Amino acid sequence: MNANHWTREVFLEHPEMFLPLLEDRLSRAREQVDGLVKLFERYGVEHGSMVLDLACGIGRHSIELALRGYNIIGVDISLDYLGIAERESDRKGVSDHCRFVGGDMRSIGSFFEGQLFSSSLSLFTSLGYYDDETDLSILRQINHLSLDGGLLIVHIMCKKHAESLDGKRKLRKNNGILRIEDSIYDEKTSRLKSRWTFLKEKGKGYKKIGVLHFENRLYTYKELSEMIKLAGWDHLESFSDLKLNPFEGGSKYVVLLSRKAD
Ligand SMILES: C[S@@+](CC[C@H](N)C(=O)[O-])C[C@H]1O[C@@H](n2cnc3c(N)ncnc32)[C@H](O)[C@@H]1O
């Protein structure tokens, strides 16, 4: 990986700083997996099928899916996150149904010899980290790892929402740590550039403890659905979230459900 790429700083050098965001969302995993399971049942992904959770983080969806009877392979670049996922899957008694593999999604096609998946997931804006050709290549590689009729579920922030964050500052507090999120949307590159400054309570004030930079490529519905099609997938349905609410113009997120084209 390029030594200066932002993902290195966020996920490899300081995974502990992004971790609270993933932990915060652990409580949403159960209802999100309810939505995923509804889609699996609607499109014939049977219990016991192999599911790929690409960029699985701490395994919040992988583990919940394993509890519902699916077999999961979670792939992530952060060995710290995978360690948490492994310990949690052990604790919940589903380690026989989850395997966590360290690696870079850009070469996902070379990871599994002879292994084909019934469904592949890319959840919580885990695409758009590199350039458009790389996203297309990742989607193509997953296509080649899919069984005939296999599903792809991509859940990602919408470009329109990213535009609305331009020039905005958000403050969030968690366990005595204040996070200041400053964002700029670059129209020329369709990238949301964010700087997160972390401050820790000290006496009556705060002390700066770190800064993370993000640079996410966001897509419109049309751009993303065209790219998914180009990668060999047929569109099935779209939603605004994993509770399967309908997608509308102002939705912050989009969930695109596709099936491997014949
Ligand atoms: C926004 S988090 C989403 C995690 C998980 N899907 C979830 O919903 O909790 C993005 C994840 O992508 C992983 N990641 C970043 N770059 C990656 C790469 N090149 N290959 C594999 N995983 C990567 C990070 O380590 C992180 O866990």
Q: For residue 208, what is the domain's CATH number?
A: 3.10.450.630
Which CATH number is 90's domain given? 3.40.50.150
Q: Ligand 1 centroid vs 7 CA: distance in angstroms?
A: 9
Count of structural domains, the chain: 2
Question: What contacts 74, CB < 8 A, 6 or more positions away?
Answer: 53, 56, 59, 62, 82, 85, 98, 99, 100, 101
Q: Name the residue of 18, 98, 126, 218 whose CB sits within 8 Å of the most ligand 1 atoms, as the mutation to test its pocket.
A: 126
Domain residues for 89?
A: 6-158+219-260
Q: Which two tokens stand for residue 190?
A: 């369709």
Q: Ligand 1 centroid vs 104 CA: distance in angstroms?
A: 9
Closest-lying ligand 1 atom to the alpha carbon of residue 126: 10
Ligand 1 residue neighbourhood (C-beta within 6 Å) = 7, 11, 22, 55-57, 60, 75-78, 81, 104-106, 123-126, 129
Closest-lying ligand 1 atom to the alpha carbon of residue 104: 20
SS3 131: coil
Bridge partners for 193 per DSSP: 184, 215
Query: In residues, how long is the chain?
Result: 262
Express each pLDDT in 44-92 by its tens digit: 999 999 999 999 999 999 999 999 999 999 999 999 999 999 999 999 9
- Check residue 246 and report its DSSP letter: B
- Check residue 178 and report its DSSP letter: E
Asked if residue 237 and residue 150 are part of one domain, the reply reads: yes
The candidate with the shortest Cα–Cα distance to 96, out of 57, 58, 60, 70, is 70
The answer to whether residue 50 is domain-embedded is: yes
Express each pLDDT in 192-245 by its tens digit: 999 999 999 998 899 999 999 999 999 999 999 999 999 999 999 999 999 999
Closest-lying ligand 1 atom to the alpha carbon of residue 105: 20
The answer to whether residue 1 is domain-embedded is: no
